[in-house]
């Protein structure tokens, strides 16, 4: 006889392929808007059961489907906590978790179930995030008026986890499917409402504000450097090849006619002529002025 849970409901084996079919069916119903108050109505569960039967020949009761649904939700929550924990990294392409041996040992000591993710991350994690982003956003379990309270060991475990641990929120940020998970508090029960579509999570706001400050500081620094270079160039140009310097040299000569002086002014508008004039000897300056 197959093993049963505390409510006498027969447990069902879930091969990886059957689990994959189940997750995709759940995802399709979530996209249709069938998920309400963290679960589906009985009618929808019956539809899911029929779709799963047609897809892989697996016949499950509504209770069995709910138990599997809640186990997936727990797994998604646990993996989210893992990759958000300090010292852990996650490669979404290879679906592998990276951390030092010390970090792994410390984390597994407090959360032994995390050991299963040492070689591979949670399968279908991102898809599960799209399913559970509305079911984990309230900080506590909610039940529709036509839904009974938890009645299986998995559902009771889920409720205890939600009431005694941090809140995980998986929020879609953009059209590229980038998700941001945030925790609010550790070991305390907090009630948090889902972030409206037009608002971003606080963590993202802080990151955005930080980037804006960095951008502003870099912009001001760049402007300051440009201004310093401009002043330096202007100062150098004024000191070595300025119009004032050219006029001063002519005035020192003392015997330059006004007509020649005016023609000289037309020439020294260009910095090239000023350079030539200033670097000439006094005798050559007089010869050049006489040729104008």
Per-residue pLDDT reduced to its tens digit, 215-228: 667 767 777 777 77
Domain locations in the chain as residue ranges: 16-137, 240-291
Would the pTM of this model clear 0.85, i.e. be above it?
no
- Give the model's pLDDT for residue 257: 86
Residues of the chain with confidence (pLDDT) below 50 = 1, 5-8, 135-151, 162-198, 200, 237
- Give the model's pLDDT for residue 169: 40
CA–CA separation, 213 vs 222, rounded Å? Answer: 14
- Coil/strand/helix, residue 10: strand
- Give the model's pLDDT for residue 274: 85
Q: What residues does 167 pair with on adjacent strands?
A: 184
CA–CA separation, 290 vs 77, rounded Å? Answer: 91
- Give the model's pLDDT for residue 211: 66
Give the residue among 286, 196, 172 at the shortest CA–CA distance from 277.
286
- Give the model's pLDDT for residue 66: 92
CA–CA separation, 250 vs 189, rounded Å? Answer: 87
Distance of CA 22 to the CA centre of its chain: 29
Q: What residues does 90 pair with on adjacent strands?
A: 97
* Residues 250 and 280 sit within 8 Å (Cβ to Cβ): no
Give the residue among 62, 71, 17 at the shortest CA–CA distance from 40.
62
- Give the model's pLDDT for residue 282: 87
* Residues 65 and 154 sit within 8 Å (Cβ to Cβ): no
For residue 264, what are its two tokens?
A: 């000289």
DSSP of 238-253: HHHH-HHHHHHHHHHH
CA–CA separation, 162 vs 83, rounded Å? Answer: 18
């Amino acid at each position: 006889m197959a093993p049963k849970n505390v409510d006498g409901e027969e447990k069902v084996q879930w091969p990886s392929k059957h689990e994959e079919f189940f997750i995709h069916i759940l995802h399709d119903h979530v996209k249709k808007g069938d998920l309400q108050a963290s679960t589906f109505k009985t009618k929808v569960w019956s539809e899911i059961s029929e779709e799963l039967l047609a897809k892989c020949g697996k016949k499950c009761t509504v209770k069995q489907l709910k138990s599997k649904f809640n186990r997936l939700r727990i797994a998604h929550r646990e993996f989210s906590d893992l990759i958000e924990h300090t010292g852990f990294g996650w490669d979404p392409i290879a679906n592998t978790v990276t951390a030092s041996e010390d970090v792994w040992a410390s984390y597994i000591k407090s959360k032994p179930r995390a050991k299963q993710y040492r070689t591979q991350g949670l399968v279908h994690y991102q898809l599960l995030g799209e399913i559970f982003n509305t079911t984990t956003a309230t900080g506590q379990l909610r039940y529709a008026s036509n839904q009974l309270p938890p009645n299986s060991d998995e559902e009771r475990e889920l409720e205890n986890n939600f009431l005694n641990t941090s809140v995980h929120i998986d929020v879609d940020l953009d059209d590229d499917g980038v998700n941001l998970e945030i925790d609010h508090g550790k070991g305390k029960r907090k009630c948090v409402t889902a972030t409206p579509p037009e608002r971003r999570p606080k963590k993202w706001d802080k990151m955005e504000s930080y980037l804006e400050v960095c951008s502003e500081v870099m912009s001001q620094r760049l402007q300051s450097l440009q201004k310093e270079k401009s002043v330096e160039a202007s100062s150098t140009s004024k000191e070595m090849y300025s119009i004032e310097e050219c006029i001063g040299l002519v005035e020192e000569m003392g015997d330059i006619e006004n007509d020649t002086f005016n023609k000289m002014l037309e020439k020294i508008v260009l910095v090239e002529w000023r350079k030539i004039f200033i670097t000439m000897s006094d005798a050559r300056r007089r010869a050049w002025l006489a040729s104008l």
